[in-house]
Structure 1
Amino acid sequence: MNPHDFLEVDRDLDDEERAIRDAVRDYCRAELLPHVAGWFEAGTIPDPHAVAKGLGALGVFGMHLEGYGCAGTNAVSYGLACRELEAVDSGLRSLVSVQGSLAMTAIHRFGSEEQKLEWLPRMAAGEALGCFGLTEPDSGSDPGSMRTRARRDGTDWVLDGTKMWITNGAVADVAVVWAQTEEGIRGFLVPRGTPGLSAGVVHGKLSLRASITSELVLDGVRLPHEAALPLAEGIKAPLTCLSEARFGIVWGAAGAARDCFEAALDYAQTRTQFGRPIAAFQLTQGKIADMLVDVNQASLTALRIGRLKDEGRAHPSHVSFGKLANVRAAQRVAATARSVHGASGITLEYPVMRHMVNMESVATYEGTAEIHALTLGRAVTGHSAFR
């Protein structure tokens, strides 16, 4: 039996999907894995633009989008890339998700042709970084209550407000900012260096440390009329982008769970106590079996939702199902793997504690477990418990 793919889930991939999986896995293990523990300990990515250029050359930014320098792959291929990225660290998958599934998707779906030509080729190549300004200090699970405002002044727009927990915010070349207007919620492209825009790095994080998280402050930011995304009207526009990013998390969480399981399995077979490997003890084997089930069920869930998405049959509730189930599975696997490692599990020599605390952020952003549970409840009962 293959402990790394017990149910042979990857056997259902086609040749192109396998090639993409292998290319991303090889790149991540060679170029990113040797550095990620140090980045996590430092609480930052020292040179995010260099990392972005490498990932851009690999072709993972906006890889599920068509044209403008994007690869145009299917959804499963994008999911596989997210799985391999998060098997290294959630911060790296988050960088790719925010760039491709949030910022680039917003421009690709809702932007003008001029906006697409200006930003998408550079973002796909990793030459420009983007961020997605939706969440606010007092508006997380209820983005419709955002306080950021955009008002018209002649032909210009003037934006005021604060965005919080913004991945890549302090290093982004363009921010996709969502604001309330007289006509409802609209999206705007705010280039770096625009007067009135400032970004501060959030320090003191105990999770997702190999990632740059920021606060965006917009103080009288004046934008030309052309800065507005012409097709982005209403709360459904940013939520559409969030669903794309959540799809990446469905796969990414499976990758983090797999990495924790593989680390624990290897450790249990090499760590000797009472004269034999701890893998030979019943309690350890019980833990290994529990992790094996969670990892393979997460892989099956991700692949099924990916196939539904490629068939045009995936509903946002399917993605909510995947995020809720797979993040919970990854949390269980990470905690169990940490226990298998004993005291060594709390160090950065092994990946399990890093994944364990990262999953706390992953469980919170892009919709908390509670929000996704209510989404599923609404889907199967027909009753909304949100309001």
Structure 2
Amino acid sequence: MLHAHLYAPFANPLRQQLYEQVRAALEADKDGPETLLLANFAVEAGASVLDAVVVRPHSITLLVLVPGGGRLHVPALGYGAWQLEGNALGGAGEADNPFEQFREQKEALAAWLAPQLSPEQANLQFVSGVVVFGAPVEFGPEIEEQLSQQPGGHFQLLGDATQLPRRLKQLAKPEVDLSEEEITEWAQELAEEPVTASLPAATGPETSHPAAPASPWRKMWRWLGADDIPDDAPYGGYPAAEVAANSAEKERLEQARLDGQAQLHQKLQDLEAREAQRERSMSQLVAQLAQAPAVTSEAQQLREQLALETREKEALDEAIRQSRAESAARNQELDAKIQQLGQLIEQLHARPGAAPTAPASVAAPGGAVRPPRAAAPTAAASTAAAPGSA
């Protein structure tokens, strides 16, 4: 059974139409498991808007919706714009392309889900991604090689929305192990709660949509008798809660820094591998040019190809430099935030009458663990920019 929650209509009518195709495909999968579809929302204010997320017992999949179709070329998977029918295909925000968008949004989605899912229920490194195109796509010959370079095969391209259920079955992994009852309960809680996000007036009736996903363990939270504790206690009112919240945020930032370093390492490996390939190609061209007569058309073609390869190598060098600079700036910002949170936690501990620090999780009878609540996501504004729409 499908439980679908669209937080606000897509600003792009074609993307809205593609979402409806995705929803119809999942609804038509009568033999499929319990499925939760969340669409057009951000996990927190100011974050990148996710087109859609599909949660199934053995898969959590982030969808990137691209309304167009045609001939697709992917010069490089992890950097630079792709080419769709001769037009540049970028990603949301500052992402170069849909794959870069997936990697950035996967990090945000995993950070949001981490407090809600235990490691036994989901290894969030196995969140998968699918780019769903709204029209038939002819894949360039280089795409299979590009996709094969990514570890795990967690990112795929789909030129037909009706084939999404089949692709989701292929992406199922034992590292994600949610019960159908948990997914159903999560969906029911969504339907029961009012919208908590403040939406622009332009969204109109969409303010009546269900609220953001609550933790599947809310009933356990109530059973423990703690449901009346506010999520955000006023400063000075609940010092233990403040310490716990800041400690959790500090841990999240530290993990984000580690994840960012791992992603940078992978990205640099990809860039350096392509740079080495360019250097080998350039060496071969130089050797061929040395053997070719200086005035022939073959020699001219070799010179032009060598010039092209040189420009490509310069672009790769610049991409490597920018990636390192961006990572250094991001790490500096995260380090500053982590240091500030550490100081704030020390101040809270030193306050008179402060209660002991609350644990990151509360043990429940039977050995179950209740993760702390995650912040509710934010419905997307109706004017949100659409990837690839530029």
Range class of TM-score, shorter chain: under 0.3
Structure ranking higher on relative contact order (CA contacts 8 Å, 6+ apart): 2
TM-score normalised to structure 1 length: 0.28
**Structure of larger gyration radius:** 2
